[in-house]
A and B are shown apart, each in its own frame.
Chain A
């Protein structure tokens, strides 16, 4: 009996040494067995925290870990090689990312255009049958260049081309030019994707520059004075460059004209109108011609007998003055408009 008693006493002591597995909390703790995490929303007891910090925190942690372990023991368990293993559910808590979100890759200019237009990339076959060579030829890569060489062993000289020009060399040049162009475009795509400011290309020379690039160059050159081109003379029909990053270079356009000016707007506008009106020629040529024509017509209509052809033999003056007979064709003036391109018909006058 003593032995039994001893054992029971020992058991009792053991039980007293260990704390109960049931933990009581004001607010229930949230557990996430998938993450092996337990969050305690209860407030800390300040009194006990101040008196014995270490003990209090240790107790609190034990309680919370106990709650988590209780949760785990409720899960489906398995025995693998003398070990009890619980099957954890997928984690419910979402951890914040440690790194920033990946950004979608910037589309190249062509990719963007193709997307807008709905152009899809069609995959080319690795090999195509060449009817001229009568065999399968790789579309790209190994042995492609050799196939090309075999195919174009002779080149036609275009009709209007220089006969001494090397067509093979020309083809090679074209190819290297294409490669260079591609490289430039690749660089431009990188610049666009990284959104970095690059300096303007400037003047590319009369052959390479497009008309808009030439205009931009001219505009930049004009505004490259100490007064930002304000006092630079303007041509009569000068064009101004347009586009992104160009506007600020156009002389004078940077600042908005103030509504309050030395000269009142009304007076300024009147001056402008006067200058516009005074620019017109004093004598309106068209009007003068039309007035003269009208007078002539009225005169003709007033005394028609004067125009009647004279009867009898035609008298010719010594100087070679002409008298029209009624049968000859009436000269056409072309309605008062002179066409300089057209050669005047009729007798050659000296």
Chain B
């Protein structure tokens, strides 16, 4: 368990702000105590300082998980959010996409969202913006990257991809064995 190095912290925050923008500050500046980010075996965890102090008694090699795992650093030093990060991305998301109930299952199986499945989208969403995907009843389903800006969406044909799939809650079942495993 170690603090993120400056270089890695920058990569991580860049990715984080892609999804929740300035709301990223609220993850650090919390009224209910200090929360921090820790890195263990290339995975980034978000937990309260209290919990981290307790976890420091355990050898990093033996530690499976502390707090919430937000994602991991790939071998090429890029950060990737895992689905477990949805708990923190969804409430702060600036750009949202709502999926029609007919297309919900498709998304949960790991497919991109096509124009036909698009229910609503936040106004003025730029292209390649990270967005959280909701069902029409406002249940967060996952997140992805917007493939077309809001204005382009209106023009797009029904089969065109509107949002690239990145992660969805179906992963809790699909990659159950790899989601929390310590082997990377």
**Chain A contacts to B: CB under 8 angstroms:** 240, 242, 252-253, 256-257, 259, 265-266, 269-270, 272-273, 275-277, 284, 286-287, 290-291, 293-294, 335-336
Contacts and interface: CB of A to CB of B under 8 A. Distances in A.
Contacts of B151: 290, 293-294
Given A257-B2, A272-B6, A286-B149, A277 B17 contact: yes
A276 B75 CA distance: 22
B67 interface: no
Q: Lowest 4 CB-CB distances: which A-B pairs, in order?
A: A290-B151, A257-B3, A286-B126, A276-B13
B10 interface: yes
Interface in B5-57: 5-6, 9-10, 13-14, 16-17, 21-22, 24-25, 28-29, 34, 36-37
Contacts of A276: 10, 13-14, 17
A270 B152 CA distance: 35
27 contacts: A253-B5, A259-B3, A265-B3, A266-B36, A269-B13, A269-B36, A269-B37, A270-B25, A270-B29, A272-B6, A272-B10, A273-B13, A273-B16, A275-B10, A276-B10, A276-B13, A276-B14, A277-B21, A286-B149, A287-B126, A290-B124, A290-B149, A290-B151, A293-B151, A294-B151, A335-B152, A335-B155
B100 interface: no
Contacts of A242: 75
B91 to A, nearest CB: 17
Contacts of B111: none
A273 B152 contact: no
Nearest to B52: A259
Q: Is the interface of A mostly helix, strand, loop or mixed?
A: helix
B127 interface: yes
A292 B126 CA distance: 13
User: Which of A252, A259, A269 has the most chain B CB atoms closer than 10 A to its own CB?
Assistant: A269
B124 A273 contact: no
Given A269-B28, A269-B37, A257 B5 contact: yes
Interface of B: 2-3, 5-6, 9-10, 13-14, 16-17, 21-22, 24-25, 28-29, 34, 36-37, 75, 77, 124, 126-127, 149-152, 155
Given A270-B29, A336-B152, 12 more contacts: A240-B77, A242-B75, A252-B5, A265-B34, A265-B36, A272-B10, A272-B13, A273-B16, A273-B24, A290-B124, A290-B149, A293-B151
B89 to A, nearest CB: 15
A257 B7 CA distance: 12
A94 to B, nearest CB: 42
A169 to B, nearest CB: 43
Contact of A266 (B5, B6, B28, B127): B28
A291 B25 contact: no
Nearest to A280: B17
User: Which of A253, A272, A273, A291 has the most chain B CB atoms closer than 10 A to its own CB?
Assistant: A273
A293 B127 CA distance: 15
Contact of A273 (B6, B25, B150): B25
Contacts of B14: 276
A284 B2 CA distance: 36
Nearest to A259: B3
A290 B146 CA distance: 15
Nearest to B2: A256
B9 A284 contact: no
